[in-house]
Chain A
């Protein structure tokens, strides 16, 4: 996984987005300049058109 931007297609919560994405590694999210762990903000509403940056946490070695 790489750091990537996605556009929210319809209003949904952070929890719904994370469930939908079925990510293989843990991520941080950046929404409107604010970075947070999804589980800190599961109820936050993402609006249609919002740009969400997925920031995967990657291990090495």
Chain B
């Protein structure tokens, strides 16, 4: 397996959940990968104030209106939607009720990265609270995602909550609660801890594993592992996510642990 030489890991906070501690993630990465510099860059739009309107328009154009219809490039958008995105970029709102096309969002963030750092030597990771989805040609619909790995990689704190499926039992009971107009918070309380929720105190710990997936994507070309106990496991269920990131007896499987050790020169 060939291992790529990495120059630096760069972390950006594109309005991620307030409970996400990016500095703590940076510190975790520094400990795991002692020879690679880690820099926290903060808001990726902060030096682009003269182009906020352009980016707001681009982002407004990649909203998914209907999860069963593939978004068309260059779709029309409304003035109000562009204004909303301007506020969102400027940090005047942290709302997260909109669904975006994940590949298009990744491509917009790519434009923000300077040309000389658009390379596999620089691990760019954008943390965002935007919820995004990617189109699946098999069932011809969008699916919400936690992450998209590329240049840059993007990790959604809202995706951590919404993308991996909750227990089947939860959805069945949710239908009953809705029919009977019962309080959904009561239902959530019954499942407390079994899935990630908004303002979850476990969020930073969970996202450390996704940041490592992004690092492995650059390092060996693939972010995931088949081992359900490894932090690189591509969880599609909340139960799997919680086990891989918080419940497993080990952080990384022997193969990936070995690669980290090699990277540190052990």
Contacts and interface: CB of A to CB of B under 8 A. Distances in A.
Given A28-B150, A57-B103, A33 B119 contact: yes
B120 A61 contact: no
A5 to B, nearest CB: 9
A14 interface: no
A59 B222 CA distance: 11
B151 to A, nearest CB: 6
A3 B133 CA distance: 22
B210 A60 contact: yes
Given A30-B119, A35-B151, A61 B234 contact: yes
Contact of A59 (B110, B119, B134, B220): B134
Contacts of A46: none
Q: Interface of chain A, helix or strand or loop or mixed?
A: strand
A37 interface: yes
A3 B163 CA distance: 25
A7 to B, nearest CB: 15
Contact of A58 (B107, B144, B150, B160): B150
Given A2-B221, A58-B149, A35 B164 contact: no
B213 interface: yes
B169 to A, nearest CB: 21
Contacts of B229: none
Interface string A1-43: 0111000000000000000000000101010010101000000
Given A2-B221, A35-B119, A37-B107, A59 B102 contact: yes
B118 interface: yes
A55 interface: yes
A4 B221 contact: yes
B163 A55 contact: no
B163 A61 contact: yes
Interface string A42-59: 000000000001011111
Interface centre among A28, A30, A33 (most CB of B within 10 A): A28
Contact of A55 (B120, B147, B160): B120
B7 to A, nearest CB: 13
Contact of A57 (B106, B144, B222, B224): B106
Interface of A: 2-4, 26, 28, 30, 33, 35, 37, 53, 55-61
Interface of B: 4, 102-103, 106-107, 110, 118-120, 134, 144-151, 159-160, 163-164, 210, 213, 217, 220-224, 234-236, 241
25 contacts: A3-B120, A3-B221, A4-B221, A28-B150, A35-B118, A35-B151, A37-B107, A37-B110, A53-B120, A55-B120, A56-B150, A57-B103, A58-B148, A58-B222, A59-B103, A59-B148, A59-B149, A60-B145, A60-B146, A60-B147, A61-B145, A61-B146, A61-B159, A61-B164, A61-B236
